[in-house]
Structure 1
Amino acid sequence: MTSLANICVVIPTYNAEKTIGAAVLSALAQPEVVEVIVVDDCSSDKSAESAEKAGAGDARLTVIRQQKNGGPAAARNAALQASRADFIALLDSDDVYAPQRFSKIVADEPFDMIADNIAFVPEDRILDDLFFSGLAESEADCSVISLENMIEGNISRPGEHRAELGFLKPIISRAFLEKHGLKYQSDLRLGEDFDLYLKMLAKGAVFLKCNNVGYVARVRADSLSGSHSGRDLEALYHSVRASRDNFEMSHSCQNQLDNYLSQLRQRFLLHRFLETKRENGLLAAALYSVRPLSRFLPISTAVLRDKLQPDRTEKAQEVPAIRYLYPV
């Protein structure tokens, strides 16, 4: 049976003064953690100071201050370079680990990545002992996430809920990353985790998914992941497209990835069209949609689909008391 030890927790942060302390404390509370590296991405608030205060002099905590804002992928790479631990664990600066998270993650087979379930809660939810005792409990049995599973989970299908396995926050083997020369695509500000998981799986990584709940994510209306631009989506498209062209994968995986890329291309073209309309007017947006002409069909299809969909504004603002990334 394989268990975890010698873990570095990587916490990129940008203007998270109010929540970074709780994230740091939840990481330092894990006995298996030997390093916690906070990378402050040129915050305009006191995120770095709040992280240091939470650490209260704990020698395991290191705070790196970036000289310029490079985004979450570049921040993660800075932490990877500074770390020496055997395993890398991911934690966003407004999220927390449940108590004994790592001690509950065990597997009957070797792995290169292993993750547990995520609980999503409203940002104002009090995360106390009562909350953690109320998290869903289940057997910690693990299953394998294949490359095809990862891709399929990010494809949208009408009337179906996406698995969104790219949201998982696994513990990653440093040895695997170094063996294959892998790191985060530094220019990505969206989907950087999914992009890395895709590359690792294409290189043969064993990715296990456990049923226990050990990661708690706060749902914020102004989160960085929810405010992406068309250029962010386009950068993700080109990075995934490069993986499609440069990594060996089965014909089935290639077909699934082509489907995902088609959806991603439509999304970034629609975003760019709407951004152009907002910034430069309808005529400029119309010209963008036909230069080249290959843009017209995906943009017009996306616009028509949005027009025909019922207004979900109120429903989108409703955040359930708690939901899980996958069924418990």
Structure 2
Amino acid sequence: MTTNSSVCVIIAAKNAGATIARAVRSALAEAETFEVVVVDDGSTDGTGAEAFSADDGSGRLNIIRFDENRGPAAARNRAIDASTAPLLAILDADDFFLPGRFTQMMAEDQWDFIADNIVFVKEECVARVSTDVKHFHRHARLLALEDFIAGNISRRGAQRGEIGFLKPVMRREFLDRHRLRYNEKLRLGEDYDLYARALAARARYKIIHSCGYGAVVRHDSLSGKHRTEDLKRLYEADRALLASGLLTQEQKTLLRQHEKHIRDRYELRHFLDLKNSRGPMAALAYAATHPAAIPAIVGGIAADKKEAFVGSAPRPPSPQTAGHLRYLLPVIADADQR
């Protein structure tokens, strides 16, 4: 029997045989986990078998397979439909939960979405994380749509840390009431898009600063291999939200900035794709017939050359860095740790 604090953990996985068992074990270890739904999204390795190897015999693990890759949005929607728990949590196949994550979240009330801090860790340091991460103060606050959008506009030279990376637990009732699901056209920013639409529908999105999610830093992460077309679909999703009639003028202004940020990245990538596939003249012809794209192309190329010239000088650690660990949100120590 489910309770209002029962969680379905959703894991979309493609060729994650090396890490999926760890993710599944960490999800099953949480007392509030009612079910874990793994969607094997057209893997060509042993992802499904590795996920099954982590089964604890409790009957909570459900593995679904797509014969062809359909993307994380489709996989997560399939898991939502296949599950029954009132709360939904997303776990990436190469990441893991820290013990007691959901207990910290369930101590808060009055939320539709709730997210905690993320610790970024290298693969070789994963075994130490449970003991190295301290028990930080929850310091709960509500996230406004304006802050969410602004926090997702990345800047060159800045430490990667967009607030859209947060992995909230979501109330199924809110998603159903507002007919919200992942946009299956997106293979980049599908999380950002869902959370933005939820906030536009007045979701109470609470953030706590205690840390319960471990994100493994991997150079071969699928999220770092997006296509140029993925950028186009993401700024089109922004445009759809702008046309929804749900936003205030301030929210529209910020969302237009995000849309332009993504569209500029698309224009530069599209120009370079044309140059590489069809030659410089084809790329220049595109720029000549799309004059609005020229500032993004010229500015992007100039910034790339400046970065190459300056080199990758080490940056000072961010305020969220503690030893070998880096946190997405500022860490707020409990009174006995100050």
Superposition TM-score, scaled by structure 1 size = 0.93
- Per the TM alignment, residue 4 of structure 1 is displaced from its structure 2 partner at its CA by 6.7
Report the Cα distance in structure 2 between the residues aligned to 1:74 and 1:158, rounded to whole angstroms.
31
Residues 223 and 159 (structure 1), Cα distance of their counterparts in 2 relative to 1, 3 Å cut? closer
Contact 2:23 2:95 in 1 (8 A): yes
> Which amino acid letter does the alignment assign opposite residue 129 of structure 2?
F
Residues 66 and 26 (structure 1), Cα distance of their counterparts in 2 relative to 1, 3 Å cut? same
Contact 2:5 2:106 in 1 (8 A): no
Partner in structure 1 of residue 326 of structure 2: 323
Matching of residue 46 in structure 1 with residue 49 in structure 2: no
Residues 15 and 247 (structure 1), Cα distance of their counterparts in 2 relative to 1, 3 Å cut? farther
Report the Cα distance in structure 2 between the residues aligned to 1:212 and 1:100, rounded to whole angstroms.
11
Q: Percent identity?
A: 40
Contact 2:4 2:86 in 1 (8 A): no
User: Of the candidates 162, 165, 177, which is equivalent to residue 163 of structure 2?
Assistant: 165
User: Of the candidates 244, 262, 269, which is equivalent to residue 264 of structure 1?
Assistant: 262
Report the Cα distance in structure 2 between the residues aligned to 1:49 and 1:108, rounded to whole angstroms.
36
- Mapping of 1:35-74 within 5 angstroms? 35-74=35-74
> Which amino acid letter does the alignment assign opposite residue 300 of structure 2?
A
Residues 115 and 4 (structure 1), Cα distance of their counterparts in 2 relative to 1, 3 Å cut? farther
Report runs of 4+ in structure 1 exceeding 6 Å deviation.
none
Please list every run of 5 or more consecutive structure 1 residues that lacks an aligned counterpart in the other structure.
none
Residues 156 and 93 (structure 1), Cα distance of their counterparts in 2 relative to 1, 3 Å cut? closer
Residues 312 and 326 (structure 1), Cα distance of their counterparts in 2 relative to 1, 3 Å cut? farther
- Mapping of 1:69-218 within 5 angstroms? 69-127=69-127, 130-157=128-155, 163-218=161-216
Report the Cα distance in structure 1 between the residues aligned to 2:299 and 2:278, rounded to whole angstroms.
22
- Per the TM alignment, residue 272 of structure 1 is displaced from its structure 2 partner at its CA by 1.4
Residues 139 and 70 (structure 1), Cα distance of their counterparts in 2 relative to 1, 3 Å cut? same
Contact 1:203 1:247 in 2 (8 A): no
Matching of residue 250 in structure 1 with residue 248 in structure 2: yes
Contact 2:86 2:171 in 1 (8 A): yes
> Which amino acid letter does the alignment assign opposite residue 61 of structure 1?
L
Residues 99 and 147 (structure 1), Cα distance of their counterparts in 2 relative to 1, 3 Å cut? same
| 1:8-30 residue CA offsets vs partner (Å, 9 max, x unmatched) | 00000001101000000000000
- Per the TM alignment, residue 125 of structure 1 is displaced from its structure 2 partner at its CA by 2.2
Superposition TM-score, scaled by structure 2 size = 0.90
Report the Cα distance in structure 1 between the residues aligned to 2:159 and 2:248, rounded to whole angstroms.
25
Residues 324 and 101 (structure 1), Cα distance of their counterparts in 2 relative to 1, 3 Å cut? same
> Which amino acid letter does the alignment assign opposite residue 69 of structure 1?
N
- Per the TM alignment, residue 303 of structure 1 is displaced from its structure 2 partner at its CA by 1.2
273-282 or 178-187, which deviates more: 273-282
- Per the TM alignment, residue 163 of structure 1 is displaced from its structure 2 partner at its CA by 4.9
- Per the TM alignment, residue 288 of structure 1 is displaced from its structure 2 partner at its CA by 2.4
Count of residue pairs brought into register by the alignment: 323
| 1:223-274 residue CA offsets vs partner (Å, 9 max, x unmatched) | 1111112111111110121011114111111111111111111001111112
Please list every run of 5 or more consecutive structure 2 residues that lacks an aligned counterpart in the other structure.
332-338
> Which amino acid letter does the alignment assign opposite residue 51 of structure 1?
A
Q: Secondary structure at the match of 1:111?
A: coil
> Which amino acid letter does the alignment assign opposite residue 194 of structure 1?
Y
103-112 or 171-180, which deviates more: 103-112
> Which amino acid letter does the alignment assign opposite residue 6 of structure 1?
S
Residues 247 and 98 (structure 1), Cα distance of their counterparts in 2 relative to 1, 3 Å cut? farther
Contact 2:118 2:166 in 1 (8 A): yes
> Which amino acid letter does the alignment assign opposite residue 322 of structure 1?
L
> Which amino acid letter does the alignment assign opposite residue 291 of structure 1?
T
Contact 1:4 1:102 in 2 (8 A): no
Report the Cα distance in structure 1 between the residues aligned to 2:291 and 2:80, rounded to whole angstroms.
43
| 1:183-218 residue CA offsets vs partner (Å, 9 max, x unmatched) | 000011111101000000000100000010000000
Contact 1:244 1:257 in 2 (8 A): yes
Contact 1:12 1:41 in 2 (8 A): yes
Residues 274 and 143 (structure 1), Cα distance of their counterparts in 2 relative to 1, 3 Å cut? same
Contact 1:153 1:162 in 2 (8 A): no
Partner in structure 1 of residue 302 of structure 2: 304
- Per the TM alignment, residue 58 of structure 1 is displaced from its structure 2 partner at its CA by 3.5
Report the Cα distance in structure 2 between the residues aligned to 1:139 and 1:122, rounded to whole angstroms.
24
101-110 or 184-193, which deviates more: 101-110
> Which amino acid letter does the alignment assign opposite residue 270 of structure 1?
L
